[in-house]
Amino acid sequence: MADFRTALVRIIPFLLLQYVSKSEGFITNRPLIVTAILGKPYVMEHYDMTGRMGNDRYKGFSVDLLEKIAVLANFTYEIRLVPDNQYGVKIDKNGSGNWTWTGMIGEVIRNKADLTMGDIAVTRAREQVVDFTYPFMTSGLTILARRSTTEAKSIRSVADLAGQTEIKYGVVAGGSTYQFFKSHKFDPFRRMYEFMMNNSDDCFVRSYEEGVHRVHESNGRYMLIAESNLVDYAVSQNCNLTSIGREFTSTGFAIAVKTGSDLREKISRAILSLKEDHVLSELREKWWEGGQNSCRMSEGWTDSGVQVKLSMESLIGAALLLAWQFRRTSK
């Protein structure tokens, strides 16, 4: 009887936890494992890591977004960086026909993570192996270039870039932009993919940060094709960079979960709620146009995004206008 009572005392708290969790709508009793990839401004490490532990080590748009989603969907989580630093592509290991997925998508498929975090694009291939939530952001593709050389090289669009061979251009190898060019059957994108493959060492980069660095240091001899959101952020941070041409194609960024997981519906509802309450736009403004926007602030941009160039003539004109208004009101 004593053993029975002891066992009962031990199991009652567990049963109560199960009941409370279900009644309050908890998704799970354990922290969800979130696989993430470092990339500005979505997921970044704090410069000062002193005393920081767990999720507190990270900051960024996606970090803030996940925190708000977790409150609405009622779950806790643990952020873990993906070991291979990839978003997720399907590869054939050793050419043996043993196809597998890399990166964050692979982590979800193999049950090493419950969901993804960061700027992972929704693609047809990925949708065949995971479920995606409602997109929290959309983006097109555009060209990142060094500002001082774009006029001299007469590059105004992706068609101009495809029609020449002097300037090298490229994408992040294995990413969604790479897959876009690889799968495209029509020019100029098919021709551009062939050009990049024939000049792979000069065109492809391992990460977006590497691509931005190459653009900046190449003195106009290299341009990066990437998601417009990433290009906008790079331009806002570096006054020597600019974007070229209109956006082409469009894709959504969402959170990937296991196929059939109820997380998809719960997180999608949370994202829709944040969108309707304008929280998504506020987070966008915070990380793209807020205090991080050192280039615009240094060049005289106002908080509303309007650039103000103060010259001696404009200052004199303003002074004369104020003097004229003062004379009128003093009469």
Which residues are CB-neighbours of 313 under 8 A, at least 6 positions away? none
| Beta-strand relationship, 77-81 and 32-36 | parallel
Q: Averaged over 97-102, what is the pLDDT?
A: 89
CA gap 33, 325 in Å, rounded = 64
pLDDT of residue 295: 66
CA 248 vs CA 103, 228, 284: distances in Å:
26, 9, 21
Task: Compute the C-alpha angle 238/240/244, nearest 5°.
Answer: 100
pTM of the model: 0.76
pLDDT in tens, 140-155: 999 999 987 555 578 9
The identity of residue 261, as a single letter, is: S
pLDDT of 97 strictly over 90: no
pLDDT in tens, 51-91: 899 999 999 999 999 999 999 999 999 999 999 999 998 99
Q: Averaged over 213-231, what is the pLDDT?
A: 94
Q: Are 249 and 140 in contact (CB under 8 A)?
A: yes
Q: Are 187 and 274 in contact (CB under 8 A)?
A: no
